[in-house]
Protein backbone atom coordinates (compact mmCIF):
# COMPACT_ATOMS: atom_id res chain seq x y z
CA UNK A 1 0.00 0.00 0.00
CA UNK A 2 0.97 3.63 -0.05
CA UNK A 3 3.55 4.63 2.49
CA UNK A 4 1.27 7.30 3.88
CA UNK A 5 -2.36 8.14 3.36
CA UNK A 6 -1.91 11.40 5.20
CA UNK A 7 0.18 12.95 2.44
CA UNK A 8 -2.55 12.16 -0.08
CA UNK A 9 -5.47 13.22 2.05
CA UNK A 10 -3.92 16.35 3.49
CA UNK A 11 -4.23 14.98 6.99
CA UNK A 12 -1.70 15.57 9.70
CA UNK A 13 -0.88 19.17 8.77
CA UNK A 14 2.86 19.77 8.96
CA UNK A 15 3.50 16.78 11.17
CA UNK A 16 6.63 14.81 10.43
CA UNK A 17 4.83 11.46 10.52
CA UNK A 18 1.68 9.98 9.07
CA UNK A 19 -1.61 10.87 10.73
CA UNK A 20 -2.78 8.19 13.22
CA UNK A 21 -6.11 7.94 11.38
CA UNK A 22 -4.26 7.35 8.11
CA UNK A 23 -2.27 4.51 9.66
CA UNK A 24 -5.46 3.06 11.16
CA UNK A 25 -7.22 3.06 7.80
CA UNK A 26 -4.26 1.44 6.09
CA UNK A 27 -4.25 -1.30 8.73
CA UNK A 28 -8.02 -1.72 8.31
CA UNK A 29 -7.67 -2.34 4.58
CA UNK A 30 -4.74 -4.68 5.13
CA UNK A 31 -6.85 -6.73 7.56
CA UNK A 32 -9.71 -6.78 5.07
CA UNK A 33 -7.45 -8.01 2.26
CA UNK A 34 -5.91 -10.69 4.49
CA UNK A 35 -9.37 -11.86 5.57
CA UNK A 36 -10.56 -12.27 1.97
CA UNK A 37 -7.44 -14.16 0.96
CA UNK A 38 -7.41 -16.40 4.05
CA UNK A 39 -11.19 -17.03 4.03
CA UNK A 40 -11.50 -15.64 7.56
CA UNK A 41 -15.15 -14.63 7.89
CA UNK A 42 -14.82 -13.24 11.40
CA UNK A 43 -11.87 -11.04 10.47
CA UNK A 44 -13.66 -9.83 7.34
CA UNK A 45 -16.85 -8.89 9.17
CA UNK A 46 -14.76 -7.14 11.84
CA UNK A 47 -13.81 -4.58 9.14
CA UNK A 48 -17.47 -3.78 8.34
CA UNK A 49 -19.33 -0.89 9.99
CA UNK A 50 -21.45 -2.11 12.89
CA UNK A 51 -24.18 0.49 12.40
CA UNK A 52 -27.69 -0.99 12.00
CA UNK A 53 -28.79 -1.49 8.40
CA UNK A 54 -28.61 -3.81 5.42
CA UNK A 55 -24.97 -3.19 4.62
CA UNK A 56 -23.58 -5.79 7.01
CA UNK A 57 -25.90 -8.43 5.54
CA UNK A 58 -24.79 -7.43 2.04
CA UNK A 59 -21.14 -7.72 3.05
CA UNK A 60 -21.80 -11.14 4.54
CA UNK A 61 -23.26 -12.23 1.17
CA UNK A 62 -20.24 -10.84 -0.65
CA UNK A 63 -17.89 -12.85 1.56
CA UNK A 64 -19.99 -15.98 1.00
CA UNK A 65 -20.02 -15.36 -2.77
CA UNK A 66 -16.21 -15.52 -2.77
CA UNK A 67 -16.03 -18.87 -0.99
CA UNK A 68 -14.94 -20.94 -4.03
CA UNK A 69 -12.91 -18.28 -5.85
CA UNK A 70 -9.22 -19.38 -5.79
CA UNK A 71 -7.58 -16.11 -4.81
CA UNK A 72 -3.81 -16.25 -4.39
CA UNK A 73 -3.37 -12.58 -3.46
CA UNK A 74 -5.55 -9.60 -2.49
CA UNK A 75 -4.49 -5.99 -1.90
CA UNK A 76 -6.07 -2.56 -1.59
CA UNK A 77 -4.26 0.53 -2.86
CA UNK A 78 -5.28 4.18 -2.78
CA UNK A 79 -5.45 5.71 -6.24
CA UNK A 80 -6.58 9.31 -5.93
CA UNK A 81 -5.58 12.29 -3.86
CA UNK A 82 -8.08 14.17 -1.76
CA UNK A 83 -11.68 13.20 -1.20
CA UNK A 84 -11.40 12.71 2.58
CA UNK A 85 -13.49 15.53 4.10
CA UNK A 86 -15.07 15.01 7.55
CA UNK A 87 -18.86 15.24 7.51
CA UNK A 88 -21.43 16.09 10.13
CA UNK A 89 -22.87 13.30 12.23
CA UNK A 90 -21.71 10.86 14.84
CA UNK A 91 -18.07 9.97 14.51
CA UNK A 92 -16.32 10.74 11.21
CA UNK A 93 -16.92 9.57 7.65
CA UNK A 94 -14.49 9.86 4.74
CA UNK A 95 -14.44 8.53 1.18
CA UNK A 96 -11.46 6.97 -0.57
CA UNK A 97 -10.78 5.86 -4.13
CA UNK A 98 -8.98 2.53 -3.96
CA UNK A 99 -8.04 -0.38 -6.18
CA UNK A 100 -8.75 -3.92 -5.13
CA UNK A 101 -5.95 -5.95 -6.75
CA UNK A 102 -6.29 -9.70 -6.87
CA UNK A 103 -4.91 -12.78 -8.61
CA UNK A 104 -6.50 -16.13 -9.36
CA UNK A 105 -4.20 -18.94 -8.25
CA UNK A 106 -2.48 -20.68 -11.14
CA UNK A 107 -3.80 -18.27 -13.80
CA UNK A 108 -2.96 -14.62 -13.18
CA UNK A 109 0.62 -13.48 -13.62
CA UNK A 110 -0.21 -9.93 -12.51
CA UNK A 111 -3.11 -8.52 -10.49
CA UNK A 112 -6.54 -7.78 -11.88
CA UNK A 113 -7.42 -4.22 -10.88
CA UNK A 114 -10.95 -3.47 -9.62
CA UNK A 115 -11.44 0.19 -8.66
CA UNK A 116 -13.76 0.88 -5.74
CA UNK A 117 -15.04 3.92 -3.87
CA UNK A 118 -15.04 3.20 -0.14
CA UNK A 119 -16.93 5.05 2.53
CA UNK A 120 -15.11 4.68 5.85
CA UNK A 121 -16.69 5.39 9.22
CA UNK A 122 -15.01 6.01 12.55
CA UNK A 123 -16.66 4.53 15.63
CA UNK A 124 -14.81 5.48 18.76
CA UNK A 125 -11.14 4.96 17.96
CA UNK A 126 -11.70 2.39 15.20
CA UNK A 127 -12.39 2.74 11.49
CA UNK A 128 -14.76 0.51 9.50
CA UNK A 129 -15.84 0.09 5.87
CA UNK A 130 -19.36 1.54 5.65
CA UNK A 131 -20.02 1.29 1.89
CA UNK A 132 -18.38 0.03 -1.30
CA UNK A 133 -19.23 1.24 -4.79
CA UNK A 134 -17.72 0.48 -8.18
CA UNK A 135 -17.04 3.75 -10.06
CA UNK A 136 -18.76 4.29 -13.40
CA UNK A 137 -16.69 3.45 -16.46
CA UNK A 138 -15.99 6.55 -18.56
CA UNK A 139 -13.48 5.45 -21.18
CA UNK A 140 -14.40 3.16 -24.10
CA UNK A 141 -12.55 -0.12 -23.95
CA UNK A 142 -11.79 0.11 -20.21
CA UNK A 143 -13.50 -3.22 -19.71
CA UNK A 144 -12.23 -4.19 -16.28
CA UNK A 145 -11.96 -0.69 -14.81
CA UNK A 146 -15.03 0.51 -13.00
CA UNK A 147 -17.00 -2.63 -13.85
CA UNK A 148 -18.72 -5.06 -11.50
CA UNK A 149 -16.92 -8.19 -10.34
CA UNK A 150 -18.56 -11.58 -10.76
CA UNK A 151 -18.99 -12.10 -7.01
CA UNK A 152 -20.98 -8.85 -6.82
CA UNK A 153 -23.68 -10.70 -8.77
CA UNK A 154 -24.07 -13.79 -6.59
CA UNK A 155 -22.33 -16.84 -5.20
CA UNK A 156 -19.58 -17.97 -7.55
CA UNK A 157 -19.33 -21.62 -8.59
CA UNK A 158 -15.95 -22.79 -9.85
CA UNK A 159 -15.17 -25.62 -12.28
CA UNK A 160 -11.59 -26.55 -13.13
CA UNK A 161 -10.88 -27.97 -16.57
CA UNK A 162 -7.59 -29.36 -17.83
CA UNK A 163 -6.68 -26.02 -19.41
CA UNK A 164 -9.41 -23.74 -18.10
CA UNK A 165 -10.90 -22.20 -15.00
CA UNK A 166 -14.63 -21.46 -15.30
CA UNK A 167 -16.37 -19.20 -12.79
CA UNK A 168 -20.14 -18.88 -12.96
CA UNK A 169 -23.06 -17.30 -11.13
CA UNK A 170 -26.59 -18.69 -11.32
CA UNK A 171 -25.49 -21.57 -13.56
CA UNK A 172 -25.79 -25.32 -13.07
CA UNK A 173 -22.43 -26.94 -12.35
CA UNK A 174 -22.95 -29.41 -15.20
CA UNK A 175 -23.43 -26.47 -17.56
CA UNK A 176 -20.16 -24.94 -16.35
CA UNK A 177 -18.44 -28.28 -16.90
CA UNK A 178 -19.61 -28.17 -20.52
CA UNK A 179 -18.15 -24.66 -20.89
CA UNK A 180 -14.86 -25.93 -19.43
CA UNK A 181 -14.79 -28.87 -21.86
CA UNK A 182 -15.30 -26.50 -24.80
CA UNK A 183 -12.53 -24.21 -23.53
CA UNK A 184 -10.22 -27.19 -23.00
CA UNK A 185 -10.79 -28.24 -26.64
CA UNK A 186 -10.11 -24.71 -27.88
CA UNK A 187 -6.64 -24.42 -26.33
CA UNK A 188 -4.89 -27.09 -28.46
CA UNK A 189 -6.64 -25.77 -31.60
CA UNK A 190 -5.13 -22.36 -30.89
CA UNK A 191 -1.71 -23.90 -30.19
CA UNK A 192 -1.72 -25.59 -33.62
CA UNK A 193 -2.61 -22.38 -35.43
CA UNK A 194 -0.69 -19.73 -33.49
CA UNK A 195 2.62 -21.59 -33.04
CA UNK A 196 3.87 -19.17 -30.47
CA UNK A 197 4.44 -19.12 -26.71
CA UNK A 198 1.50 -18.22 -24.48
CA UNK A 199 0.11 -19.43 -21.16
CA UNK A 200 -2.00 -22.20 -22.71
CA UNK A 201 -4.83 -21.72 -20.23
CA UNK A 202 -7.90 -19.52 -20.00
CA UNK A 203 -10.29 -18.05 -17.42
CA UNK A 204 -13.96 -18.02 -18.45
CA UNK A 205 -16.67 -16.06 -16.61
CA UNK A 206 -20.30 -17.13 -17.03
CA UNK A 207 -22.74 -14.61 -15.50
CA UNK A 208 -26.44 -15.27 -15.02
CA UNK A 209 -27.72 -13.07 -17.87
CA UNK A 210 -26.93 -10.65 -20.68
CA UNK A 211 -27.45 -7.74 -18.29
CA UNK A 212 -24.94 -9.21 -15.85
CA UNK A 213 -22.45 -9.79 -18.68
CA UNK A 214 -22.76 -6.11 -19.62
CA UNK A 215 -22.21 -5.10 -15.99
CA UNK A 216 -18.96 -7.08 -15.91
CA UNK A 217 -17.85 -5.17 -19.00
CA UNK A 218 -18.99 -1.80 -17.66
CA UNK A 219 -21.43 -1.29 -20.54
CA UNK A 220 -25.11 -1.56 -21.46
CA UNK A 221 -26.91 -4.77 -22.37
CA UNK A 222 -28.01 -3.40 -25.74
CA UNK A 223 -24.40 -3.18 -26.83
CA UNK A 224 -23.82 -6.92 -26.37
CA UNK A 225 -27.13 -8.42 -27.46
CA UNK A 226 -26.46 -11.29 -29.85
CA UNK A 227 -22.75 -11.37 -28.96
CA UNK A 228 -21.96 -14.83 -27.58
CA UNK A 229 -18.69 -13.93 -25.82
CA UNK A 230 -16.17 -11.14 -25.33
CA UNK A 231 -12.52 -11.29 -24.26
CA UNK A 232 -11.22 -8.55 -21.98
CA UNK A 233 -7.62 -7.50 -21.54
CA UNK A 234 -5.08 -4.82 -22.30
CA UNK A 235 -3.55 -4.95 -25.77
CA UNK A 236 0.15 -4.81 -26.27
CA UNK A 237 1.46 -7.38 -23.83
CA UNK A 238 2.76 -4.83 -21.32
CA UNK A 239 3.21 -7.49 -18.67
CA UNK A 240 1.11 -5.48 -16.22
CA UNK A 241 -2.14 -7.37 -16.79
CA UNK A 242 -3.13 -10.93 -15.95
CA UNK A 243 -4.54 -13.62 -18.21
CA UNK A 244 -7.52 -12.26 -20.07
CA UNK A 245 -11.10 -13.09 -19.15
CA UNK A 246 -13.48 -14.68 -21.66
CA UNK A 247 -16.94 -13.46 -20.62
CA UNK A 248 -19.91 -15.47 -21.88
CA UNK A 249 -23.31 -14.02 -22.79
CA UNK A 250 -25.42 -17.04 -21.80
CA UNK A 251 -28.42 -15.92 -23.87
CA UNK A 252 -26.49 -15.85 -27.15
CA UNK A 253 -24.12 -18.70 -26.27
CA UNK A 254 -27.01 -21.03 -25.42
CA UNK A 255 -28.62 -20.35 -28.80
CA UNK A 256 -25.61 -21.86 -30.58
CA UNK A 257 -25.11 -25.51 -31.45
CA UNK A 258 -22.03 -27.48 -30.48
CA UNK A 259 -20.07 -26.30 -33.54
CA UNK A 260 -21.00 -22.66 -32.96
CA UNK A 261 -19.94 -22.81 -29.32
CA UNK A 262 -16.62 -24.39 -30.22
CA UNK A 263 -15.93 -21.77 -32.89
CA UNK A 264 -16.83 -18.92 -30.52
CA UNK A 265 -14.65 -20.30 -27.71
CA UNK A 266 -11.70 -20.94 -30.03
CA UNK A 267 -12.06 -17.39 -31.38
CA UNK A 268 -11.94 -15.94 -27.87
CA UNK A 269 -9.04 -18.14 -26.74
CA UNK A 270 -7.15 -16.93 -29.82
CA UNK A 271 -7.46 -13.38 -28.48
CA UNK A 272 -5.92 -14.58 -25.21
CA UNK A 273 -3.03 -16.28 -27.04
CA UNK A 274 -2.29 -13.35 -29.35
CA UNK A 275 -2.73 -10.54 -26.82
CA UNK A 276 0.99 -9.90 -26.37
CA UNK A 277 1.35 -9.41 -30.14
CA UNK A 278 -1.78 -7.30 -30.59
CA UNK A 279 -1.30 -3.56 -30.30
CA UNK A 280 -2.89 -0.26 -31.24
CA UNK A 281 -1.28 -0.81 -34.65
CA UNK A 282 -3.38 -3.94 -35.25
CA UNK A 283 -6.57 -3.17 -37.18
CA UNK A 284 -9.68 -5.01 -36.06
CA UNK A 285 -10.10 -6.69 -39.43
CA UNK A 286 -6.82 -8.48 -38.69
CA UNK A 287 -7.31 -9.29 -34.98
CA UNK A 288 -10.93 -10.38 -35.40
CA UNK A 289 -10.34 -11.99 -38.78
CA UNK A 290 -7.40 -13.99 -37.45
CA UNK A 291 -9.43 -15.16 -34.44
CA UNK A 292 -12.23 -16.26 -36.76
CA UNK A 293 -9.73 -18.00 -39.03
CA UNK A 294 -8.43 -20.02 -36.07
CA UNK A 295 -12.00 -20.67 -34.93
CA UNK A 296 -13.04 -22.16 -38.27
CA UNK A 297 -9.66 -23.68 -39.19
CA UNK A 298 -10.43 -27.20 -37.94
CA UNK A 299 -14.07 -27.23 -39.12
CA UNK A 300 -15.51 -28.51 -42.36
CA UNK A 301 -17.23 -25.28 -43.35
CA UNK A 302 -17.30 -23.21 -46.53
CA UNK A 303 -17.21 -19.45 -47.12
CA UNK A 304 -20.84 -19.20 -48.21
CA UNK A 305 -21.88 -20.91 -44.95
CA UNK A 306 -19.68 -18.83 -42.68
CA UNK A 307 -20.27 -15.48 -44.43
CA UNK A 308 -24.01 -15.35 -45.29
CA UNK A 309 -24.37 -11.56 -45.04
CA UNK A 310 -21.37 -10.89 -47.24
CA UNK A 311 -22.51 -13.59 -49.68
CA UNK A 312 -25.85 -11.82 -50.14
CA UNK A 313 -24.07 -8.51 -50.68
CA UNK A 314 -21.66 -9.93 -53.27
CA UNK A 315 -24.44 -11.73 -55.09
CA UNK A 316 -26.35 -8.46 -55.17
CA UNK A 317 -23.42 -6.68 -56.81
CA UNK A 318 -22.30 -4.89 -53.63
CA UNK A 319 -18.64 -5.90 -53.48
CA UNK A 320 -16.77 -3.98 -50.74
CA UNK A 321 -14.23 -1.52 -52.07
CA UNK A 322 -11.83 -1.77 -49.12
CA UNK A 323 -11.12 -3.70 -45.96
CA UNK A 324 -13.47 -2.94 -43.04
CA UNK A 325 -12.73 -0.05 -40.70
CA UNK A 326 -12.51 -0.42 -36.93
CA UNK A 327 -15.79 1.49 -36.60
CA UNK A 328 -17.56 -1.27 -38.54
CA UNK A 329 -16.92 -3.65 -35.63
CA UNK A 330 -18.95 -1.65 -33.10
CA UNK A 331 -21.38 -3.85 -31.17
CA UNK A 332 -23.92 -1.03 -30.84
CA UNK A 333 -24.00 -0.24 -34.56
CA UNK A 334 -25.74 -1.78 -37.56
CA UNK A 335 -25.86 -5.56 -37.11
CA UNK A 336 -25.46 -6.21 -40.83
CA UNK A 337 -22.37 -3.97 -41.01
CA UNK A 338 -20.92 -5.76 -37.99
CA UNK A 339 -21.56 -9.22 -39.46
CA UNK A 340 -20.02 -8.28 -42.79
CA UNK A 341 -16.99 -6.73 -41.07
CA UNK A 342 -16.24 -10.01 -39.30
CA UNK A 343 -16.81 -11.99 -42.50
CA UNK A 344 -14.56 -9.69 -44.52
CA UNK A 345 -11.76 -9.89 -41.96
CA UNK A 346 -12.04 -13.68 -41.79
CA UNK A 347 -11.82 -14.03 -45.58
CA UNK A 348 -8.82 -11.69 -45.72
CA UNK A 349 -6.95 -13.93 -43.23
CA UNK A 350 -8.18 -17.08 -44.97
CA UNK A 351 -6.83 -15.76 -48.27
CA UNK A 352 -3.41 -15.07 -46.72
CA UNK A 353 -3.28 -18.58 -45.24
CA UNK A 354 -4.21 -20.15 -48.60
CA UNK A 355 -1.99 -18.06 -50.89
CA UNK A 356 1.04 -17.37 -48.69
CA UNK A 357 0.73 -20.09 -46.06
CA UNK A 358 -0.31 -20.26 -42.42
CA UNK A 359 3.16 -19.41 -41.12
CA UNK A 360 3.16 -16.24 -43.21
CA UNK A 361 -0.23 -15.29 -41.80
CA UNK A 362 1.16 -15.60 -38.26
CA UNK A 363 4.32 -13.68 -39.24
CA UNK A 364 2.18 -10.95 -40.81
CA UNK A 365 0.09 -10.67 -37.63
CA UNK A 366 3.18 -10.37 -35.46
CA UNK A 367 4.79 -7.82 -37.76
CA UNK A 368 1.73 -5.56 -37.74
CA UNK A 369 1.43 -5.77 -33.96
CA UNK A 370 5.05 -4.80 -33.43
CA UNK A 371 4.84 -1.71 -35.66
CA UNK A 372 5.10 1.71 -33.98
CA UNK A 373 2.01 3.01 -35.76
CA UNK A 374 -0.86 1.49 -37.72
CA UNK A 375 -0.77 2.89 -41.24
CA UNK A 376 2.89 2.14 -41.81
CA UNK A 377 2.61 -1.13 -39.89
CA UNK A 378 0.09 -2.73 -42.23
CA UNK A 379 1.81 -1.33 -45.32
CA UNK A 380 5.28 -2.45 -44.27
CA UNK A 381 4.11 -5.91 -43.13
CA UNK A 382 2.36 -6.49 -46.45
CA UNK A 383 5.56 -5.52 -48.26
CA UNK A 384 7.99 -7.42 -46.04
CA UNK A 385 5.99 -10.57 -45.31
CA UNK A 386 3.70 -10.96 -48.34
CA UNK A 387 5.60 -8.97 -50.97
CA UNK A 388 2.54 -6.99 -52.07
CA UNK A 389 1.40 -3.39 -51.83
CA UNK A 390 -1.77 -2.40 -50.00
CA UNK A 391 -3.49 -1.71 -53.32
CA UNK A 392 -2.53 -5.11 -54.69
CA UNK A 393 -3.62 -6.86 -51.51
CA UNK A 394 -7.05 -5.23 -51.59
CA UNK A 395 -7.40 -6.06 -55.30
CA UNK A 396 -6.60 -9.72 -54.64
CA UNK A 397 -8.94 -9.78 -51.66
CA UNK A 398 -11.86 -8.41 -53.67
CA UNK A 399 -11.23 -11.00 -56.38
CA UNK A 400 -11.09 -13.69 -53.67
CA UNK A 401 -14.46 -12.57 -52.29
CA UNK A 402 -16.00 -12.80 -55.73
CA UNK A 403 -14.56 -16.25 -56.33
CA UNK A 404 -15.55 -17.64 -52.94
CA UNK A 405 -18.97 -16.07 -52.53
CA UNK A 406 -20.51 -15.46 -55.95
CA UNK A 407 -23.29 -17.90 -56.81
CA UNK A 408 -22.02 -20.79 -58.94
CA UNK A 409 -23.09 -20.68 -62.55
CA UNK A 410 -26.01 -22.95 -63.38
CA UNK A 411 -25.17 -25.03 -66.47
CA UNK A 412 -27.55 -24.67 -69.38
CA UNK A 413 -29.62 -27.64 -70.36
CA UNK A 414 -28.60 -29.23 -73.66
CA UNK A 415 -30.86 -28.14 -76.54
CATH code of the domain containing 176: 3.30.2010.30
CATH number of the domain residue 84 falls in? 3.10.450.50
180 lies in a domain? yes
pLDDT tens column, 310-328: 999 999 999 999 999 999 9
Q: 241, 275, 309: which is the final residue of a domain?
A: 275
Looking at 98, 117, 135, the residue that finishes a domain is 135
- Judge whether 415 lies within some domain: no
Q: pLDDT digit string (tens) for 332-358?
A: 667 889 999 999 999 999 999 999 999
* Number of domains composing the chain: 3
Domain extent at residue 213: 138-275
Give me the pLDDT at residue 409, please.
54
Residue 209 lies in a domain: yes
Note whether 302 and 326 are same-domain residues: yes
Residues 232-283: tens digit of each pLDDT: 875 544 444 455 899 999 999 999 999 999 999 999 999 999 998 999 999 9
CATH number of the domain within which 360 lies: 1.10.390
Q: Are residues 302 and 182 in the same domain?
A: no
Q: What is the mean pLDDT of the chain?
A: 85
Using the 3D structure, point to which of 135, 158, 188 is the last residue of a domain.
Answer: 135
User: Is residue 230 in a domain?
Assistant: yes
Q: How many CB atoms lie within 10 A of CB 176?
A: 20
- Asked whether residue 23 falls in the same domain as residue 121, the answer is yes
How far apart are alpha carbons 235 and 136 in whole angstroms? Answer: 22
Whether 363 is covered by a domain: the verdict is: yes
185 and 60 in a single domain? The answer is no
- Identify whether residues 193 and 168 lie together within a single domain: yes
Decide if 374 is inside a domain.
Answer: yes
On whether both 321 and 357 belong to a single domain, the answer is: yes
Report d(CA 31, CA 27) in Å as an integer. Answer: 6
Residues 315 and 258 in one domain: no
- Buried b / exposed e over 351-390, threshold 16 CB at 10 Å, is bbbeebebeebbbbbbbbbebeeeeebbeebbeebbeeee
Q: Over the stretch 159-184, which tens digit does the pLDDT of each residue have?
A: 999 999 999 999 999 999 999 999 99
Amino acid sequence: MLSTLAAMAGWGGESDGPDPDARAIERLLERRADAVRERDEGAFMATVDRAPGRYRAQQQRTFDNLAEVPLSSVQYRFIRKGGFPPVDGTGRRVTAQVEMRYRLAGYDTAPVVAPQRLTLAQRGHRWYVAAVQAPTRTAPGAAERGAAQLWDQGRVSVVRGERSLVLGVGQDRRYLQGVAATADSAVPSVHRAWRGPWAGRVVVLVPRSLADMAALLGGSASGYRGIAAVTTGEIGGSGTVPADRVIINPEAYDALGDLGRQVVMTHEVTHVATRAHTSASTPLWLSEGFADWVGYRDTKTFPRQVAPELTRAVEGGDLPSDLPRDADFGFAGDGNVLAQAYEQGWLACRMIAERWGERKLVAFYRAVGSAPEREAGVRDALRDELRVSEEEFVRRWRAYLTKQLAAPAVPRAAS
